Amino acid sequence: MELPAKFWFKLRRLKQAWNSMFNNQHESYDTSHRMCPNCRALIDRSAKVCPLCGAETGPARARSRPSAEPGKVLGVIPVPRTATAILIAVIMVMYGIEWYMTQTLAGASSGPSWGGISAGVMLRLGGKFGPLMYAGQWWRLITAMFLHASLLHIGFNLWCLFDLGPEVEMLFGTQKFLVMYLVTGILGFVASLWWNPWALSIGASGAILGLIGVLIGTSFHHGSLGKDYRSMLWRWVIYIFIFGLFFSVDNAAHLGGLVSGLALGYLIPSGEPATRAEQQIWDGLSLVSVLLIVGSFALMALQINRPM
């Protein structure tokens, strides 16, 4: 039975996102032809004379053959080559640590079902919790973005990040994307802290709503095409907030991420920086973002065994 065209479109888009994330773009490159140095026509790679202009082409330059397993760990696992892929990898590693600690604490019992994580583990690994944050543990605004409470939680967020991340990263560039992701995620948890400081909250959904907000914000600069795209994104936002009304979801973090993303997407021009000075600014901001993330995890590790 022939599969629907919509399914094939989704499958192709998923493959493109995967190739973009892991930089696997060499597969479609045509190595059987080369360019004539005189008339610049494509000719057979082994030809010594161009059949179109008659000029001698000289010997074909040898191409470096890729290693047997380029860009892979142990020849199996692709090495992340984009900010989106690195964020996904860190989130998955942190969930593995969460699950291991939960199972260790559970002892003889099986622990929470469906890959659930205990509240104590989430708290120790840097979940957002007002009393501790007001006591000076500000870094929880960042570490909480990389923690998840169950397989369903991490699965939904990774699905959204896998779909939205490459789109925003290709549209704005890696430096801008990283800064936007971090800022919207932080402001999401700031809104959550203001709304309910006593609630333990974790997850990447505030930053993910931030990415949706960025796309909505930048769509205002793209005429009728942007209007159609914007209406589709608004429907996605409505579905997420309706879902949050019936389940234990931090809608305050979602709203904070969305609003900050709208502002950033509207105010920050898409594409690579236009001037060298602008490039240096974004390079600096992205470096600060990386240092904040690494520093937050280091501070979390220093207090992980201390009494809460």
Specify the fold of 85-303: Rhomboid-like fold (1.20.1540)
Whole-angstrom distance, CA of residue 125 vs CA of residue 97: 9
Task: With beta carbons less than 8 A apart as the criterion, state whether 81 and 87 touch.
Answer: no
Whole-angstrom distance, CA of residue 251 vs CA of residue 272: 32
- Max Cα–Cα distance, the chain, nearest Å: 81
Whole-angstrom distance, CA of residue 93 vs CA of residue 80: 13
Task: Determine whether 254 is an active site residue.
Answer: yes
Contacts of 30 (CB under 8 A, 6+ apart): none
Show pLDDT as tens, one digit a residue, over the chain (308 residues).
444 444 444 545 555 555 555 454 444 434 455 656 665 565 676 777 777 777 777 655 444 444 444 455 545 555 667 999 999 999 999 999 999 999 888 765 556 666 789 999 999 999 999 999 999 999 999 999 999 999 999 999 999 999 999 999 999 999 999 999 999 999 999 999 999 999 999 999 999 999 999 999 999 988 777 888 888 899 889 888 887 777 778 899 999 999 999 999 999 998 888 889 999 999 999 999 999 999 999 999 999 887 76
Domain boundaries, the chain: 85-303
How far CA 14 is from CA of 164, 167, 236, 259, 260, in Å, comes to: 11, 11, 18, 27, 27
* Signed CA dihedral, 104, 76, 71, 22: sign only: negative
Whole-angstrom distance, CA of residue 238 vs CA of residue 64: 51
- Which of 254, 260, 286, 296 is catalytic? The answer is 254
Task: With beta carbons less than 8 A apart as the criterion, state whether 215 and 121 touch.
Answer: no
- Which of 20, 192, 201, 205 is catalytic? The answer is 205
Q: What is the pTM of this model?
A: 0.75
Task: With beta carbons less than 8 A apart as the criterion, state whether 90 and 146 touch.
Answer: yes
Q: Of 237, 129, 145, 240, nearest to 185 (Cα)?
A: 145
How far CA 219 is from CA of 67, 233, 265, in Å, comes to: 42, 10, 8
